[in-house]
Amino acid sequence: MAETDLDAVIRGIGKTQHKALMAEARKRHVRLMGLAAKAKTKEGKARFKQTAKDMMGLASAAARRLQITAENAADSYARAMKNALEEIKATEAKTSAAKTKATKTKATKKKA
């Protein structure tokens, strides 16, 4: 169960980073829109509004990539733990089969 817990932690970190990045982007967007409202010229207003729009688009894309990366890392970790667990079980099965075979050969040698 520990691997599942760590998988959830990785996903949680990704969500937290996504939220923090989007919160900061919203703050900057509000700031730029405020500057646009204070601008004296039509071109200045348009420039600040376009900058705010572009910045939000880029921040959204970056946040999305960040979250996808965290999800991929969590999936990869879960897959690696699953494979390691299967490998351990296979090794244990081989070891127990070898012990059983060795016990049977000892028993047949004693009878002979």
- pLDDT tens across 1-58, in order? 555 578 889 999 999 999 999 999 999 999 999 999 999 999 999 999 999 999 999 9
Neighbours of 25 (CB within 10 A): 19
Q: How deeply is 14 buried, as exposed, middle or buried, from its count of CB atoms within 10 A (0-12, 13-18, 19+)?
A: buried
- pLDDT tens across 58-68, in order? 999 999 999 99
- Pair 36, 48: CB distance under 8 Å: yes
pTM of the model: 0.71
Question: 110 falls in which pLDDT band (50, 70, 90)?
Answer: low
What is the three-class DSSP state of 76?
A: helix
Domain boundaries, the chain: 2-78
